[in-house]
Amino acid sequence: MVTYGTVLDSLADPTRRDVLDLVRRKPSSVQEIADQLPISRPAVSQHLKILKDAGVVTSHPVGTRRVYTVTTDGFEVLRQWLDVMWRDALSAFAAFADNQPNDSGANQ
């Protein structure tokens, strides 16, 4: 199971985010990505491996090339994640608001 932490770690590196941005715009091979960034082909491969392990990108063969794309089933994951975020944010807000004196914020 890919965790939130794994994904965030995979995106912690600015160059890796650049790699992901290119893949997101257009499915690309390692060489195509390397051509557009000031890093070597092996470095691109290493970044792609980390992104792939995190489940952010996937790859498939096209002819003699291997093409990387962003994974396509993540919308519901986004929604669930935001649902948890807002649930916890509102829970934290309620705990905060209920613990403030009544005259805080504005008039009761």
Partner 1 sequence: MTTITDVRREVIVAGTPQRAFDLFTKRMGEWWPAEHHLATSPVVAITVEPQIGGRLYDTCEDGSQSVWGQVTEWDPPAGFTFAWMINGTWQLESDVEKASRVTVTFAAEGDRTRVTVVHKDFWRMSEGGQGMADAVGAADGWGAGLTKFAEFAGS
Q: Which of residues 79-98 bind partner 1 (CB under 8 A)?
A: 79-98
Least Å distance, CB 14 to partner 1, is: 10
Task: Give the number of other Cβ atoms within 10 Å of residue 5's Cβ.
Answer: 9
Q: Which of residues 27-86 bind partner 1 (CB under 8 A)?
A: 54-57, 70-72, 74-86
From the list 15, 21, 35, 45, which residue makes contact with partner 1 (rule: CB under 8 A)? 21
Count of positions on this chain that bind partner 1 (CB under 8 A): 54
Give φ, ψ of 102 to 5 degrees.
-60, -25
What is the distance between the alpha carbons of residues 38 and 16, in angstroms, rounded to a whole number? 12
- Among residues 18, 27, 97, the alpha carbon closest in space to that of 66 is found at 27
With contact defined as beta carbons under 8 Å apart, do 83 and 38 qualify?
A: no
Q: Kindly list the residues in this chain that would bind partner 1 in the complex (CB under 8 A).
A: 1-8, 11, 17, 20-21, 24-25, 54-57, 70-72, 74-100, 102, 104-108
